[in-house]
Structure 1
């Protein structure tokens, strides 16, 4: 029999996937009993999972009517993207001042992003993970652990919508091209160019993500009933 903490982890993982994949939509309400029945577990691991998701900002509790998936706050996401840009621009500026011998991280990124078209990955989940790693690696490569911690915290908050950027083939291709250009500018110590490219890259992604998210929400609502 699975341990209670393992059950809570399983419920948490499933509920988070339901939210991220739009099987549970912003505004959807449900009870602990609903989830327990669907997943064939007791209410205790469900409650533990929901409190964890509440702490992360994905759901909120209504003591008389159960739980609700939190509505997307696009103004908040915009602010997170703005802070992310500030941190990554600072990271790029520092990287362009570092010695070439300190570029092991950048050289590893070259092996992922500076590849021929037929070597590019096409799976949205894989590319999404690599994209997230690319941006986190740029900040981590500066050696500033506090900057990296702040950047990763923001990354986790925007992951729910950011991963949608890779549901379209043209965005995958654009990401490979844009990352390659950013890396080349950093390796050439062209700080101004690298920062301009990075800013445009993130702004385009932010715009695409918002449009895709709104479209996915509309399509999901039209699709009918979802899991409780």
Structure 2
């Protein structure tokens, strides 16, 4: 079935997801310009769903548009990223406290994390994209396991908005090794129901990631695209 035969809403959703994936995979980086016509040709759709997708991404803060120059990926806003990281820390610390004091809603979720993060060094993954996805899953699972659906929803929104920056962390082998070690310590503290220790470890872990964000330059993003 050709894409054009699908309802427009589905087409716009497909274009939206493709463009967002392009940003998360560094195919599009801050400052890159986008052409409605080029996107439509590349994805085999008309300009209407392309425009709908672009406006949706603009409303979410990923893109901007100017009358003379058209659409472009917004520059990194480190002030906004700091705020998002602060919100992330608040949500995750609250979730960890509840998780450690009241237990998980579903114990199998923590079992799943153990199978990924409490493994010998020889069994660790090294692919940046895979580790980046598993890192998101680790933090999202801790929040979800605490049982507050609204906190989980807001946390996932934050995750999507900082995804590009977080995944740059895993283009370096030392950061992958550090993530495995730090996740293992956090998870063990949760399993042992030690809220203070778990929160201390988690905050240090996220603060380190936040520090790494400050080292990112446009050159770093272009290097990741290669």
Which category describes the TM-score, using the shorter chain as reference length?
0.7 to 0.9
Does residue 130 (structure 1) correspond to residue 129 (structure 2)? The answer is: no
1:157 corresponds to? 161
Give the paired residue count: 222
TM-score by length of 1: 0.86
The one of 91, 95, 101 equivalent to 2:99 is 95
Which residues of 2 match residues 1-228 of structure 1 at below 5 A?
1-2=2-3, 3=6, 4-99=8-103, 103-217=107-221, 219=223
Deviation at 1:85, TM superposition (A): 0.5
Shift in alpha-carbon separation, 1:47–1:100, aligned structure 2, 3 A: closer
**d(CA) in 2 for partners of 1:186, 1:220:** 34
Shift in alpha-carbon separation, 1:152–1:172, aligned structure 2, 3 A: same
Gaps of 5+ in 2: none
**Cα RMSD (Å) of the superposition?**
2.4
Deviation at 1:143, TM superposition (A): 0.8
Deviation at 1:36, TM superposition (A): 3.1
Deviations 1:110-153 (A, max 9, x none): 11110011111111111111110110111111111111111111
Aligned residue for 1:211, secondary structure, equals coil
Are the counterparts in 2 of residues 31 and 65 from structure 1 also a CA contact under 8 Å?
no
Are the counterparts in 2 of residues 185 and 191 from structure 1 also a CA contact under 8 Å?
yes
The structure 1 segments of at least 4 consecutive aligned residues displaced by more than 6 Å after TM superposition are none
Gaps of 5+ in 1: 224-228
**d(CA) in 2 for partners of 1:42, 1:150:** 33
**d(CA) in 2 for partners of 1:173, 1:52:** 36
Deviation at 1:209, TM superposition (A): 3.2
TM-score by length of 2: 0.86
